[in-house]
Amino acid sequence: MPKKVIIAGGGTGGHVYPAIAIATGLKAKFAEVDVLFVGTEKGLENDLVPKAGFELKKIRVRGFKRKLSLENISTLKEVALGGLQSLALLKKEKPDLVVGTGGYVAGPVVFFASMLKIPTLIHEQNVKPGITNRILSRFVDKVAVSFPDSVKYFPKDKVVVTGNPIRPEIVLTEKSRALKELGVDKEKPLVLSFGGSQGALKLNEAALELIDLIKEDSTFQLLHITGKKNYDDFISKLEYKGINPSGLGHIKVRPYVYEMHYAIAAADLVVSRAGAITIAELTAAGKPAILIPLPTAAGQHQDYNAGFMRKNGAAVIIKDRELSGKKLYDTIRNLLSDRNTLVEMSKASKKLGRPDALERILKEIISLID
């Protein structure tokens, strides 16, 4: 049984949420295990990890600019300091295992753990891996990937396809209960649109136009999530158009949905970005999707995630630069009017889902410790 596990990962939710899922799974299986997170001062881990009930240690590290820059000189100093901090932390804590879930912080912690002969595992969330995990794969004991298409980027003798760990309620929530909880009409299809936990301005702009187009057309229902910081502005723009969404029964606008499993379970079609966690949750629930990859995502990883979904018949893609309310409206109507296609997309999505991803990852962790 492991006594102490260090999990290094941070920056974005895509790195932090899988880390928390792994930590929670370890605690459920081994009540006495001590899980310590390592992150940075600025990442989402500062908010999410303590809320999940885990201790967070911070080190100084940041990534290099892709172009020649004087800033890279100061980055070298940060990297050196981060390396020394990682080494000191590992020698002090003496973990039985170190897990890296991505982000710059995983680099020095996982690398020095491997140098100290501590068992190491990295988890890659996206179809196309980031540079940190590609480098680390040469040193670690095991590489867990979320998509079969990722295998080619890593050493064959180390890589295993596990999937992305997700919240169990995504799979367990029944559609009938979700419809009731959300107050949605079960007789009409529901379209769920969101841009991630922070919202997406481009998607919000398209949604404003879409709502204007469907305000008197209730053939389908829309639940749009703006993101907390965008909600007031979004409602103001609707009111400027003379639209009061609370007075339209088939349109619901929310700043944030804490119980997202209800929204996903209730949806007949999802419009979203193509982040790794979003893809994992949609496929586990078997939901067809219209994906708008974020063009500024590092290494264009959302384009690869969305491409994987489209290649397997689970999604259609609208390029960010081509997105408009009219384009979205036409795509939604075409899909909802072709019930057979929507059913086939749903089946394809479900086939890609890996609801047992957490158990697969825990199995690999236990094998490394044993």
Annotated binding site for UDP-N-acetyl-alpha-D-glucosamine: 12-14, 126, 167, 197, 302
Query: Strand, coil or helix: what is 159?
Result: strand
Q: Are 152 and 308 in contact (CB under 8 A)?
A: no
Q: Which residue bears the tokens 């179809």?
A: 127
Q: Which residue bears the tokens 């994992």?
A: 280
Alpha carbons within 13 angstroms on the beta-carbon side of residue 296 total 2
The two tokens of residue 202 are 């481009």
Q: Are 141 and 120 in contact (CB under 8 A)?
A: yes
Alpha carbons within 13 angstroms on the beta-carbon side of residue 330 total 6
CA distances for 364 relative to 42, 168, 180, 284, 357, angstroms: 30, 19, 39, 21, 11
Question: What secondary structure does DSSP assign to 272-311, as a single string?
Answer: E---HHHHHHHHHHT--EEE---TTSGGGHHHHHHHHHHH
Q: Are 101 and 129 in contact (CB under 8 A)?
A: no
- Within 8 A by CB and 6+ apart from 232, the residues are none
Which residues make up each annotated binding site? Answer: 12-14, 126, 167, 197, 302
Question: What secondary structure does DSSP assign to 210-278, as a single string?
Answer: HHHHHTT--SSEEEEE--GGGHHHHHHHHHHTT--GGG-TTEEEES--S-HHHHHHH-SEEEE---HHH
CA–CA separation, 88 and 85 (whole Å): 5
